[in-house]
Structures are given as structure tokens and as C-alpha cells.
Amino acid sequence: MAWAAVVALLAALGVHAWRTRRTVGALERRLATARRELEALQQAFERFAPAEVVEHVIAEGVSARSEKKEITVLFADLQGFTELGEGLAPADLVTILNGYFERMSRAIVEHRGYVSKFLGDGILALFGALDANPWQTNDAIHAALAMRRTLADYNETLAAAGRPALAMGVGVHRGPVVAGLIGSEGLMEYDVIGRTVNVASRVERLTRTHGVDILVTEATRAALDGRFRLRPMPPVAVKGIADALPTFAVEGFDGGATAP
Amino acid sequence: MTAPAVTAEMEWEETLLPAGSVPAELEAEVRRQFGAVPSWVARVAPAPWVVRAWATMVTQPVAHLPPGIGDLAALVVSQDNSCRYCFGAQRAVLRMLGYREAYIARLERDFHVAELSDAERAALDFARRMSRADPRPARAERERLAQVGFTAPAVAELAFVAAAIVFANRAATLLALPPDPLEQMVDRPLVRLLRPVIARRMRSKPRRPEPLPEPNEGPFASVVAALEGSPAAGVLRRAIDGALASPVLPRRTKMLLFAVVARALGCTRTESEMRAALALESLGTADVEGILATLASSRLDARETRLVPFARETVRYHRIAAVQRRMREVARGLEPAEIVETVGLLALANAVCRLSVLLDAA
């Protein structure tokens, strides 16, 4: 009788141990899956903010943390798109715009830029913001030239589909910014603020004044590879800047088709 | 979860070079170092100095660093660099050494919450910052290590261990080495049975402190001198001298690759040292400045024109497959010895420039 009780007890313990082990195994598998998802998420996040910022957010939560750094800002905008949009069905408008954003983003990312945001039909891209990059200005202008080529190709596609061509202006400026997590409790993003961003936006607007598609500032020119062909533009007074702003139109690159 | 399951999801391209024959003398040297001949030796053998540098650097030639920390740092740095080969191999090494799978998984998940002492956590944090080098770890970070009990020579050795893994990660990634057989071996019943015996053989033994190698001359002598008292100093000196003495690529090409990596990492000391060395190779200040600013020049030969711009891409990479595909493009038309030497030089440049933080005053 006592033996039977012992055997029954051992059997019950065995079943319990087996069940516990099975539960632990299942939990470990779920934990491993969660870890892989978390790693993928962390890697994805590192495309939106420097690894150090992502690390800080994971370890200590979102907090006001900023730093000053020198970056190159590229601002691109579609010219006359509002008027163009008035003659198009909303679905066509969105399709054309998404096709444009998709292609331009690829050109920017392929040259080590980071697409910070889309502003209506505008694009704000940053070079040297996520990773230290001593070649950031060259990369930005190679990206601008790639955007020019890409837009020409896209316009051929649009023309073949009986759709109107797009025209783009690109302004590039290099200078200091304050970079960090900026926003409200409900919506926060890695962003940069400062005069450098405003100047890039103003320079983009000057492309209309000068009738060119890519314009850069003196600070950008000074950091550029001499093989970029630039044409000086007459200085123009712009809002928020005391002196008339000299700019340079980018005509091309004499160093071959491939950017370093 | 086993190592193959964890690493199976890491992106990785087809290996760049086939395994070749290994000279008996070189094989014997590696066997003395490792106790076995790792699978990568047959692919790296075309440039023997790379084999020697790799074999001696990753076996933790340390006298001051507390035991065990180097093994954990190797995992953390390999994971941070998404090096499928090193990560899988180091995971297998840790399991052979007796670390439990659950512990390794916790370490991978977040070493900040794994069961570690403050000193271990600080060390792993520092190793990872050495690997990222963006920004370069400041002097204050080394001082923090002193606060949790590390002596100055131990901090220098920790920096060396992290730099050595950075070397191995780049070499393995650029060559896209296939998984190490150790990953499969670790779960075999016989190996599990013999694990304590194997672990005893594998565990890195603390070495005796060593004086600086004599002579410690030529490029990066100051970085080597920062490891004074550690056997790592001699290992690093021999790796640098081996790289520079190899006849495969010209000395000028080697200096240029080092200079580009130095520029990308903001390592002004190495950059100036390379500028001075390049002046002796008939490249003037303006030429070098032009090359470093644009990664191109009519003064570069056809091979340098391909290698110089590629050097920057080995410093930080977000997509492993992308850098491996670029390596394949760059390697097209090059002999195996040229490919391995290029990879070894870029790996060594990444290690030395990171290690130079030991000389940073701020």
C-alpha cells in the first residue's frame, strides 16, 4: 500500500515536472521570439535615430537629450505641385507623389543620408546626423545629383502614362544644429533644429529665383570635392539673414558616375 | 534556443573565398596558439600575416584583465557588429566554457539586466562603445572603469580585447566566412560529455606581464606603448609589423587605407602619422589632403582607386549584406592574397584607430 502511494506520488511529481518543463520551454521560446522582434525593432529604430540615442531610450526611457553637431541639410521641394495637383484626381496625385518620395528617398539613403521628414511635397534629409561622417557634404551633393537623374527617369515614366512632369528644387547647407528627441509626450521624433535647417529651406526657395534645380551655400561649397562643377549665382537677400546670400548652382560632377 | 537557430536569421552573403591549402608551418603555429586549427585559417592563408594577427589577437593575450570578461566582451562586440561568424563561434565558445544557454540569451537580450557585477557591466558597456566609436569613448569612460575596480593596465587590455574582436568581426564579415563547425559540435553528446575537459583546455589562462616589445618603432608605436606591461603590446606590434612587411600590397596603399579609416573614425593621431608616412611614399600634403577629402585622385593607381573609397565603408555598417556585396565588387579581379591582405589591413586599421582612444587626453 505504502509502495503504491510512493509510486503514485512519484508519478504525480514526474507529470508535474514534465508539465513545468514544457511550460518553461514554451515560455523560453516566446521569450526568444520576443527578443528577436525587439532586436529587429532596435535595428529598425537605428535608421531613425543614432544608435546611442536608441540605446539611451531603451535603457532610460524617452527624455530631453540633445547635442550640437555639424551636419549637412538637404531640402527638396516640388515646384508648382499645388497647381499641378488641382488638375489631378486625388488618387492620381497621391500615386505620383508617393512614387516621387519613394525614388528620392532611395537616392538619399544610397548616399548615406537620412530622410528626416516629408513636409507636404517637400523632403528634409540630413547627412552626418546619425553617424559621424567626414564626407557628409560630398554625399549630400552626390545624393542631389542622383535625385536629379532619378527625377528625369521618373518624368519619362510619368510621360509614358500620360501624366504631367515634375520639377524639383534642392537647397543644401552645412552648419551646426541641435539634434535630439523633440516633440510632445504623445509624439516625439529624432530631429534637428537651428538656423542651418532654415537656411537650407531658404536656399531651396532660391532655386526658383535663379531658375536652377540644385543650389548650395558658401559653407557647403567650402566643404565640397573640387570635382563638382559649380556656377556662382548673384547674392540675393533672404528673410532672416542679414546679408545677401551668395549661392552656387550645381551643374555636375567630373569624377565619373560612381560616387565614393 | 541553439546557436544555429539564433544565427540563422542574421543576414549573411555567400563566402568570398574558397578554402585553400595551409602551409604546414603556419598550421602548426596556429595549432600551438589555439590548440586546434579554426575553419577560417584555410580561407585566410593566402596572406599569412592575417592568420598570425587573427590567431594571436583574439586569444586574449592579457595579464591584468580579470578572467571571463574578455569572453563576454567578445560576444557583446560580435553581436553589436552583427558578425554572424564571430557571434555564432563565440556563442559556441561560451557554451563550451560552461555558460548556460539561458544566461547567454539574457546577455544577448540586454547585458544591462543580465546577472553581472557592476564591474562586468561597465566593462561590457565600454567594449561596446569601443566597437561603435561614435563618439570615441572619452577618458571619463575609462575613469568610470577605474571606479569599479579596474586598474589602468586592465582598462588598456579591455580596450585591446574589444579592438581585437573588431578586427575579427571585420575580417569575418568582409570575407563572409561560413559558420564555424564549432557551432554544430557544441551540442554533440560526446562533446557535451567531455565539455568540462574541453573547457579547461579552452579557458584563456592569464599570462605574465611583459615588457614593451623591443624595438617598438614605426607606425603606431604610441598605441603599442599604451599597452605597456601587457602581452597584448607584443601581439599588436607583431601584427602591425607583419602587415607592413607583407609584399602583397604596396606600403603606400596600406598607409592610405589606414588614413581613410582614421579619418572616418576621427582618429587624428593615426591620420597625422599616416600623412607623415605617405610623404615618404612621394605623396605630398596637398595630395593626401585631396585624397582624404574626396577619396579619389589621379595620383591613385587602379587598385587604390577601388580600395580607398571602400575603406570608409568598413568603419560602420548598418546592413551586413550591403557591405559584403560591396566587398565582392571591390574584390573582382584581385588575387586571393590581395583580397585577404586588403581585408586584414582594413580590419587592423579599424582595430588600431579604435584602440588609440587610450592616448586621448580628453
Output the pLDDT for position A50: 65
Percent of chain B with pLDDT over 90: 78
Looking at CATH, the fold of the domain delimited by A66-253 is given as Alpha-Beta Plaits (3.30.70)
pLDDT tens-place string over residues A83-94 = 887 888 999 999
pLDDT at A47: 62
SS3 B296: coil
Q: For the residues B165-188, what does the mean pLDDT come to?
A: 95
Taking contacts as CB-CB distances below 8 angstroms, the residues of chain A near B264 are: 132-134
- CB-CB neighbors (< 8 A) of A46 in chain B: 318
Measured between beta carbons, the chain A residues lying within 8 angstroms of B290 are 226
pLDDT value of position B27: 96
Distance CA B109, CA A36 (A): 9
Which tens digits make up the pLDDT trace of B233-277? 999 999 999 999 999 999 999 999 999 999 999 999 999 999 999
Distance, C-alpha A1 to centroid of its chain: 76
Measured between beta carbons, which residues in chain A are less than 8 angstroms from residue B300?
Answer: none
**A52/B296 Cβ within 8 A:** no
**Per the CB < 8 Å rule, is B266 touching A35?**
no
State the pLDDT at residue A27: 80
* Residue B12 vs residues B9, B79, B174, B303, B322: alpha-carbon distances, Å: 9, 14, 10, 26, 10
On whether the CB atoms of residues A176 and A196 are closer than 8 A, the answer is: yes
Contacts of A36 in chain B (CB under 8 A): 9
Q: Is A32 at the interface with chain B, CB within 8 A?
A: yes
- CB count within 10 Å of CB A31 equals 15
pLDDT band at A46 (very low <50, low <70, confident <90, very high): low
| Alpha-carbon span A116 to A151, nearest angstrom | 20
% of chain B surpassing 70 pLDDT: 97
Torsion angle of alpha carbons A124, A129, A130, A135, nearest 10°?
Answer: 110
Beta bridge partners of A245: A236
CA distance A144 to A119: 18
- As given in the structure block, the three cell numbers for residue A228 are 563638382
- pLDDT value at A157 more than 90: yes
**What are B22-55's pLDDT values in tens digits?**
999 999 999 988 888 999 999 999 999 999 999 9
The confidence band for B318, taking pLDDT boundaries of 50, 70 and 90, is confident
The pLDDT of residue A60 is above 70: no
Residues 78-137 (A) with a CB less than 8 A from some CB of B: 131-135
Stronger pLDDT, B327 or A242, i.e. the higher one: B327
Tell me the ipTM for this assembly. 0.84
How far, in whole angstroms, is CA B237 from its chain's centroid? 14
First to last CA, chain B: 43
In chain A, where are the structural domains located? Answer: 66-253
Domain boundaries, chain B: 47-202, 221-359
Model confidence band, residue B175 (pLDDT cutoffs 50, 70, 90): very high
B interface test, pick of A135, A137, A221 with most B CB neighbours within 10 Å:
A135
Write out residues 215-254 of A within 8 Å (CB-CB) of B.
Answer: 225-227
Q: What is the pLDDT of residue B314?
A: 97
pLDDT at site A148:
98
Domain B47-202 identical in fold to domain B221-359: yes
CA distance B344 to B332: 17
Does position A35 have pLDDT exceeding 70, yes or no?
no
Asked if residue A206 has pLDDT above 90, the reply is yes
pLDDT mean over B297-314? 96
Residue A50 contacts B where some CB pair is shorter than 8 Å: yes
Q: For residue B285, what is the enclosing H or E element?
A: helix B285-294
Give residue for cell 514544457: A22
Residue A259 pLDDT > 80, yes or no? no
Q: Does the pLDDT of residue B330 top 90, yes or no?
A: yes
Strands (E), chain B: none
CA distance B259 to B287: 13
Q: How high is the pLDDT of residue B11?
A: 84
Verify whether the Cβ–Cβ distance B266 to A138 is below 8 Å.
no
What's the CA gap between B61 and A42, in Å, rounded? Answer: 33
Q: Count Cβ neighbours within 10 Å for each residue of B283-301 and write b for 16 or more, e otherwise.
A: beeebbebbbbbbbbeebe
**Span B323-346, mean pLDDT?**
97
- What are the residues facing A77 on neighbouring strands? A169
Most confident of A90-94, B183-187, B345-349: B345-349
Distance from the B115 Cα atom to the nearest Cα atom in chain A, whole angstroms: 16
- Check if the beta carbon of residue B44 is closer than 8 Å to that of residue B186: no
Instruction: Evaluate whether A108 touches A123 at the Cβ level (below 8 Å).
Output: yes
Residue B93 scores a pLDDT above 80: yes
Pick the CATH number of B47-202 from 3.40.50.720, 1.20.1740.10, 1.10.3720.10, 1.20.1290.10: 1.20.1290.10
Query: What's at B303, amino acid-wise?
Result: R
Contacts of B294 in chain A (CB under 8 A): 138, 225-227, 255, 260
Residue B235 vs residues B68, B123, B225, B228, B230: alpha-carbon distances, Å = 20, 22, 12, 12, 9
pLDDT of residue A231 exceeding 80: yes
Reduced 3-state DSSP string for chain A: CHHHHHHHHHHHHHHHHHHHHHHHHHHHHHHHHHHHHHHHHHHHHCCCCCHHHHHHHHHHCCCCCEEEEEEEEEEEEEECHHHHHHCCCHHHHHHHHHHHHHHHHHHHHHCCEEEEEEECCEEEEEECCCCCCCCHHHHHHHHHHHHHHHHHHHHHHHHHCCCCCCEEEEEEEEEEEEEEEEECCCCEEEEEECHHHHHHHHHHHHHHHHCCCEEEEHHHHHCCCCCEEEEEEEEECCCCCCCCEEEEEEEEECCCCCCC
Q: Which residues of chain B from 203 to 222 reach within 8 Å of chain A, CB to CB?
A: none
Which residue is closest to A59 within chain B, CA to CA?
B112
Fold topology of B221-359: AhpD-like (1.20.1290)
Report yes or no: B46 and B336 within 8 Å, Cβ to Cβ.
yes
Q: Within an 8 Å CB–CB cutoff, is residue B112 touching chain A?
A: yes
Q: Which of A29, A50, A260 sits opposite B295 (nearest CB)?
A: A260
**Separation between Cα atoms, residue B40 and residue B177, nearest integer Å:** 7
Judge whether residue A62 has pLDDT over 90.
Answer: no
Q: What is the pTM assigned to this prediction?
A: 0.87
Tell me which residue in A38, A59, A255 faces B296 most closely, judged by beta carbons: A255
Half-sphere exposure in the Cβ direction for B289 (13 Å, CA): 6
Q: From CA B158, how far away is CA B68, in angstroms rounded? A: 11
Query: Over pLDDT 90: what percentage of chain A?
Result: 58
List of E strands, B76-223: none
* Predicted local distance difference test score (pLDDT) of residue A239: 84
